[in-house]
Amino acid sequence: MTKKQPIFYGWWIVVGLFAIDIVASLGRYNLAAFLPFIMDELGWSRETISLAQSISIWLYAFFVLLAGVLVDRIGSRKTFLIGGVITILGWVLFSTAQSPWQMHLYYGVVLSLAVGMTHYVPVMATARKWFVKRAGVVAGITGSAWAAGNSIFLPVMTGMADSQGWRYTSWVLGICFGAVIILCALFIIRDTPESVGLRPDGEASPPAADPAASVEVSWDVKRALKTSQFLLLFITYAVYNIGLNGVVAHVVTWGTELGSPEATAGIFFTAFAAPWMLGSIAGGWLGDRYGKTRVMRVGLILATAAMLYGGLGVHSQPGLMVCAIGVGLGTGLQVPLYVPLLGDLFGRAHIGSLFGIITFGYGLIGGWGPLIWARLREATGYYNTAALVSTVCYAIAIVAILLVRPMKAGGGA
């Protein structure tokens, strides 16, 4: 009788990463949920608050560079522990903001650092270190966590902010979210399968003298940066996120302007995030089977069409729901495949650093999204023009991803 094999520990890593990213990303999107309440209480303009969102994304670009390097050098576990402590500090400070400079510091700097250390880059890089053959589907699962968290918690946050106040909501939830990250880092997360005597995907070690054992490609960072494939992925990820960050920052307020009560306007973010979650899981699975770049193209085309509809056809709450669903689903289909594709092209050894650099572009360039949307809204009186500008951003990303080709043999450290 064959002895039953234990569950590969990498799947427990997936559980831990999923739990971490459910709550970690909320330090980025809490301002979108609280925006109507902050405007009512403090009387600040949409542009003033949107500047804090753009500052947060710009600095996040630098912080993820740090996070990617830390994952590669000190390990994921320590990186998440540090980030969990900063998460609690950031949310608590954010709840005390009384002036724009405090909002820019607490949200734009401290919470941005917390998110950089705990959300997406360290999550996806850690998952890719544990899986190779199932990298796409695992990235889809872990990459959908933030969407699951926002689908659940954004309506909760807007409801609590309406009944208890946004400050109390931030204080309580921040402590709870930071505690989840710290506990998962302590008791679940491990850096690599090799660090606990395992191999990626739970495969058995090949015989030492096996000449057929494959050697994993491993590019050093400097050489990878010089390739056209890396440049095209950098452009794709940076440019489409101008549009994405804009709609994410303003979709709740767009809903209130179309007549939704503030207490329930978080449902528009859910309409965006829930399809993202489904698309992320499906995109990872499809990418493993039919090609990562092929699925990425399909997702970007769908999101572009939905954003175009947002610019031309959204004049009511149901229309905004359709737009949000389409952008969320299309973006979700392609976004979890960047890290698996990077691993396929350049290997696992420096995946944290490489994805950190790509995410640097997301922040430095994509960070203009919230501010562009705010200024176009103030100039035109509507969000539709901002959606049309975002359509162009998504279209540029389609062209860039169409040009990505497989690597030629060679490279290496």
Backbone angles phi, psi at 300, to 5 degrees: -65, -40
Span 306-348, pLDDT tens digits: 999 999 999 999 999 999 999 999 999 999 999 999 999 998 8
CA dist 339 and 209 (Å) reads: 32
Span 355-404, pLDDT tens digits: 999 989 988 898 899 889 999 999 999 999 999 999 999 999 999 999 99
What does the pLDDT read at residue 36? 83
What does the pLDDT read at residue 248? 87
CA dist 109 and 49 (Å) reads: 14
Write down the pTM of the prediction: 0.80
Confidence band of 184 (pLDDT split at 50, 70, 90): very high
Which CATH superfamily groups domain 9-194+218-402?
MFS general substrate transporter like domains (1.20.1250.20)
Confidence band of 209 (pLDDT split at 50, 70, 90): very low
Average pLDDT over residues 123-147: 91
CA dist 200 and 194 (Å) reads: 8
Q: What is the CB neighbour count within 10 angstroms for residue 40?
A: 11
Domains of the chain, by residue range, sit at 9-194+218-402
Q: Is the pLDDT of residue 181 over 60?
A: yes
What does the pLDDT read at residue 22? 94
Per the CB < 8 A criterion, the answer to whether 303 and 327 are in contact is yes
Q: What is the mean pLDDT of the chain?
A: 90
DSSP per residue over 9-58, as a string?
HHHHHHHHHHHHHHHHTHHHHHHHHHHHHHHHHH---HHHHHHHHHHHHH
Between 413 and 72, name the one with better pLDDT.
Answer: 72
Between 207 and 204, name the one with better pLDDT.
Answer: 204
What does the pLDDT read at residue 265? 82
Q: Which residues contact 29 (CB under 8 A, 6 or more apart)?
A: 150, 154, 248, 269
Tokens read off for 55: 């500052």
